[in-house]
Amino acid sequence: MIEHAYLIPLIPFAASLIMMFGAKEDPHSPVAWIGIGAMTICLGLSVSILAAAAGGQIPLPYEHNWHWFSFAASIGGKSFLYDMPIGVLIDGPAAVLLVVVTLVSLMVQIYSVAYMHEDTRYKRYFAFVSFFTASMLGLVVSSNILVGFMSWELMGLSSYLLIGFWFEKDGPTEAQKKAFMTTKLGDSGLYLALLFIFAKVGSFQITQIHQFINNGYMTGTVATVIAIGILFGAMGKSAQFPLFIWLPDAMEGPTPGSALIHAATMVAAGIFVVARLYFIFLAAPDAMLVAAWIGCITAFMAAAMALVSYDIKRVLAFSTVSQLGFMMCALGVGGYTSGLFHLTTHAFFKALLFLGAGSVIHSVHTNDMRLMGGLSKKMPITFVTMGAAILAIAGIPGTSGYYSKDMILANIYYANQPIFWIMLGTALMTAFYMSRLFILTFWGDDRDHEKHHHAHESPFLITGPLVLLAFLSLVSGYMLNRDDLVYRLLAKPTISAQAPAGHAPVHAEAASADAHAAPALSAAAAEHAEGGAHHEGHLPHWLHLALPFLVLGSIGLAFTLYKGPRYALADGLKSTFAPAFHLLDRRWFLDDAFDLLVVFCDKVAAVAFWIDANVVDRVFVDGWGLLTRVFAEISNLIDALFVDRTVDGFGGLSLDLGVGLRGLVKEGQVQEYLMYVAIAFSLAATLILTR
């Protein structure tokens, strides 16, 4: 099946085109099932690839390239022929992510059939979702980072379209612009990194770049610059500090679309690209450290903001940012496997959380958690499935989040203690704010009787995906962690300064052999191999035992503060620590900071414009023009006075001479003519002969 992997992005792409251009707009159109059918086929393909890879029937990575185009260029007098193939590269992370993306997208689409059923732009919504998924799948399978970048940008476009789906309102329009421009800011970094890669390596093929580094051709500085550029792109796409400002606003889009953005596509792309080009980071320890700190700061700041928000979708958005911070931090400290593991498990429970929140919003028609409460009786399935997701994201032992988050924390613990304690606190905050969301929404008694009265359980098309995702949220961690499957599938790439080593060794033993042979370049690889990946995946025993109790304590705290319809205790805290709440409510003033930055840039631009108009234009451009004109006038005068007169003088002289000479000749005398001819001829002959 893996040889048909190229179909995985193409099928939903075709489906989106068919839906967009082949169908009429109709709120009850069956067109959505085209997208769902396409995604089902992709899911089947992806699952078969993953199953075969996990079972060891097909060796990974699998790469197959087709000719796309080639071009010649001459650089410094030498001419080079560049070959640009297009192809698929399926390694372990790609195989896992294919299943995650197609599965979440399928669930989202099935869910959306019910959720969007009265929307006037029904088919367009499904076309966008398919297009979005196709872009993400294109990024995942592409063996060529240039094609990956195109998919990356198409994803930016899709997110723009989905966030601003209800463009009649101001909120979505502003949010879509903000998201697009913020992510473009990050993309510029990635773009520069790609240019740098091509300038250095001469290829966009991921395996060739890896080979290039393996051969030790890339210096640490270059690798650091490239890695920082890639990191910047990931900061925009995966909403890392300080570019995460777009993600909370992205909540203006349709809720299933948010689920897609937050679980499977957009935000996963940044992490995935960092993981895909992880070997560059391995060659740049400084960039790794930056990534770790960025992830850490992001995780903490976002979790803090989630503590105080009352908008159910905003809390989830902050939680996404925070969890992405966890992944970035894990990648930064060398926890490749744990970062991608968390990406996988997070996709399931975050999709579930968003779809569950959508179900709630669908039912009570508000985002404000203060108006909810007591919904557990009205919406039992949503209640139970959301509960499963909360357990998973909080990290209750046995759920998927427990395995992946535990592994991340363990990786961080052995790499960087300061970050570890911050991240531990963040993990506890996660448990707290998710429990808070859960309690405010479902627990206790209703606060708004009107809304509560109208609340109802959602139809099967909505609850079905919830149940499946809840199942995956609970067991996917255990399934992947069993027999160290996750270490095999998501094996950390290695780099070595040795001569061609082929593909990255899968086992830590092989990596350690490489590391000993080449101490210079593979410090990170050595670190990875030292204790063996398996050791790093476990916290010290006492912490391992204490962590669940800390999480439970955190959940208990949330219950104490927010139970009951009035949650007076929490309000009391809020008035005690009003400045801190205000800071978090205003999102750390980051939006204001960016506003100030934009205003400042605008001022700078205005000054620059004034200088351009008044100094550059006046003095240089106009002055130069004037000077040129003066010179031209002088030149014209010289031409008229001297050059032209000389020419005219010679002309007149010749004329006068001719007329004068003609007066000498007696006209009509043939012998006289002949005499002049003879004289002229003998003169000429004399001149020539005596020369």
The residues binding other proteins (CB under 8 A) are 667-671, 674-675, 678
Q: Which is nearer to other proteins, 604 or 675 (CB)?
A: 675
User: Rounded CA gap, 110 and 130, in Å?
Assistant: 12
| C-beta neighbour count of 228 within 10 angstroms | 19
On whether the CB atoms of residues 193 and 229 are closer than 8 A, the answer is yes
Minimum distance, C-beta of residue 653 to other proteins, in the bound complex (Å): 23
Task: Give 575 or 671: the residue with its C-beta nearer to other proteins.
Answer: 671
Q: Which helix (H) or strand (E) holds 75?
A: strand 62-75
Residue nearer to other proteins on the CB measure, 56 or 668:
668
Give least dist CB 631 to other proteins, A. Answer: 51
CA 496 to CA 213: how far, in whole Å?
8
* Cβ proximity to other proteins, 76 vs 668, nearer residue: 668
Sign of CA dihedral 62, 277, 50, 9: negative
d(Cα 383, Cα 438) in Å, to the nearest integer? 9
Q: What are phi and psi of 342, to 5 degrees?
A: -70, -35
Of 24 and 662, the one with the shorter C-beta distance to other proteins is 662
The minimum distance between CB 660 and other proteins, in angstroms, equals 17
- Here the tokens at position 244 are 């995460």
- CA 403 to CA 397: how far, in whole Å? 8
Minimum CB distance to other proteins, residue 674 (Å): 6
Nearest Cα to 449, choosing from 370, 378, 371, 380?
371
Which of 657/674 has CB closer to other proteins? 674
Classify each residue of 497-526 as buried b or exposed e, where b means 16 or more C-beta atoms within 10 Å of its C-beta.
Answer: beeebebbbbebeebbbbbeebeebbebbb
C-beta closer to other proteins: residue 168 or 667: 667
Cβ proximity to other proteins: between 70 and 686 the closer is 686
Amino acid type, 62 = Y
Q: Is 1 exposed, middle or buried (0-12, 13-18, 19+ CB in 10 A)?
A: middle
Nearest to 115 by CA among 252, 250, 255, 16: 255
Tell me how far, at minimum, the Cβ of 683 lies from other proteins, in Å. Answer: 14
In whole angstroms, the minimum distance from the beta carbon of 656 to other proteins comes to: 19
Nearest distance from C-beta of residue 675 to other proteins, angstroms:
5
- Which residue lies nearer to other proteins by CB, 634 or 680? 680
In angstroms, how far is CA 439 from the centroid of its own chain? 33
- CB nearer other proteins, residue 630 or residue 680: 680
* CB of 657 vs other proteins, minimal distance in Å: 18
Q: What is the nearest approach in angstroms of other proteins to the Cβ of residue 664?
A: 15
Contacts of 378 (CB under 8 A, 6+ apart): 363, 452, 455, 456, 457
H, E, C per residue of 363-417: HHCCCEHHHCCCCCCCCHHHHHHHHHHHHHHHCCCCCHHHHHHHHHHHHHHHHCH
- DSSP class of 311: B
Choice between 610 and 673, CB closer to other proteins: 673
| Rg, Å, the chain Cα set | 36
Cβ atoms of residues 45 and 7 within 8 Å: yes
